[in-house]
């Protein structure tokens, strides 16, 4: 039975940033059927609906959300042998890192580098969550979802998910159309751990053949050093993770940025600017590098919002911070990067409840 909606439930405490106002209606859904009923009821009434997971990639406006917020809490994981792979299907409300830990413990390779990431399974295909050389697009085979337009449950194969760097059809193709109910991943039993990312390779330099468990430990340690692991004892972890995505630009623009950096001393003799091939002749730059070399210092604050002391890509909400203060700081950082390098950073978190002109863009 669908839980009765509650009125004016604050959303800030349900996000990792901890800021933002209330939802007009709030429903916690414990089953797939409840999720469908709650969304269908809102759609029938013409009420906007917001699906919440772990709140780790969300910035809610101080005025809150004028509609119904649904918190996904449906749990359950099944495993099925599929040839040389194991198909792992997890309900949207499963905590992501718990699933990763279980898969690593079972010797299932494919998600070990995605350890320590907060949030729930249902959000991972929307953002195409990735880190340390892996992303969920590498292993997702199907997404089960409620289609709010067709008003039916659909199963979308990976080819229809429109996966791209920190993007998908769920996020930018038809945002809000699909409510993710479950995700299926194809993992490799006894597979070799993925060590493709430079920083991770250096952390594991003394280990010639690291196990899945060793890679998970190293990834969590790297994330913790950057305050990217949720920890009540670490005020720097009160963030939405990386606030900006790494920009993908033309090779010509990347060359101009690098030449400028060398001419102005932002790059020292013999130092290389971080840049990575992104396909189609484009180049992915490191947003954190651009931010710090635009003169934005770690720990720099505007009001009660601050750049993390541990990681220039994270914006931290200090006690009493408002969503407006986070937005003001994000705009400042973005503007300084654009003025210095001619590169426009895109925010990674989803902004909810902001009117036109109030957000970061």
Q: Which residues are the active-site residues? A: 166, 242, 348
Residue count of the chain: 361
C-beta of residue 331 within 8 angstroms of C-beta of residue 360: yes
Cα separation, 76 vs 74, whole angstroms: 7
Beta strands across the sheet bearing 301-302: 239-242, 314-317, 305-307, 301-302
Give CA separation, 349 vs 24, 79, 244, 312, 319, in Å: 22, 31, 8, 16, 20
Structure tokens at 133: 């050389």
For the chain, the farthest-separated pair of C-alpha atoms sits apart, in whole angstroms, at 66
Cα separation, 272 vs 269, whole angstroms: 9
Decide: residue 10, CB within 10 A, 0-12 exposed, 13-18 middle, 19+ buried.
Answer: middle
Cα separation, 245 vs 292, whole angstroms: 15
């Amino acid at each position: 039975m669908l839980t009765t909606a509650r009125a004016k439930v604050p959303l800030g405490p349900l996000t990792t940033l901890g800021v933002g106002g209330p939802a007009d209606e709030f429903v916690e859904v414990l089953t797939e059927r409840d999720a469908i009923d709650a969304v269908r009821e809102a759609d029938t009434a013409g009420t906007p609906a917001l699906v919440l997971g772990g709140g780790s990639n969300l910035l809610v406006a101080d005025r809150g959300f004028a509609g119904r917020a649904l918190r996904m809490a449906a749990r359950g994981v099944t495993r099925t042998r599929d040839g040389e792979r194991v198909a792992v299907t997890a309900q949207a409300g499963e905590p992501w890192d718990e699933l990763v830990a279980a898969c690593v413990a079972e010797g299932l390779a494919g998600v070990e580098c995605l350890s320590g990431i907060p949030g729930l399974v249902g959000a991972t295909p929307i953002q195409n969550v990735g880190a340390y050389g892996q992303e969920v697009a590498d292993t997702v085979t199907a997404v089960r979802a409620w289609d709010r337009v067709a008003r039916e449950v659909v199963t979308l194969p990976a080819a229809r998910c429109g996966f791209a760097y920190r993007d998908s059809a769920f996020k930018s193709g038809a945002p809000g159309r699909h409510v993710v109910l479950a995700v299926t991943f194809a993992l490799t039993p006894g597979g070799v751990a993925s060590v493709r990312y430079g920083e991770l390779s250096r952390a594991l330099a003394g280990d010639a053949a690291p196990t899945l468990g060793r890679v998970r430990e190293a990834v969590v340690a790297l994330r913790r050093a950057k305050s990217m692991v949720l920890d009540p004892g670490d005020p720097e972890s009160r963030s939405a993770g990386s606030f900006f995505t790494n920009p993908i630009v033309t090779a010509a623009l990347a060359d101009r940025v690098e030449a400028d950096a060398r001419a102005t001393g932002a790059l020292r003799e013999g130092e290389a600017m971080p840049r990575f091939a992104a396909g189609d002749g484009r180049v992915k730059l490191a947003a954190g590098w651009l931010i710090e070399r635009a003169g934005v210092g770690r720990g720099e604050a505007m009001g009660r919002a601050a750049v993390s002391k541990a990681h220039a890509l994270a914006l931290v909400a200090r006690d009493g911070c408002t969503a407006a203060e986070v937005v003001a700081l994000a705009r400042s950082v973005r503007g300084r990067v654009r003025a210095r390098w001619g590169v426009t950073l895109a925010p990674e978190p989803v902004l909810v409840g902001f009117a036109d002109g109030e957000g970061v863009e």
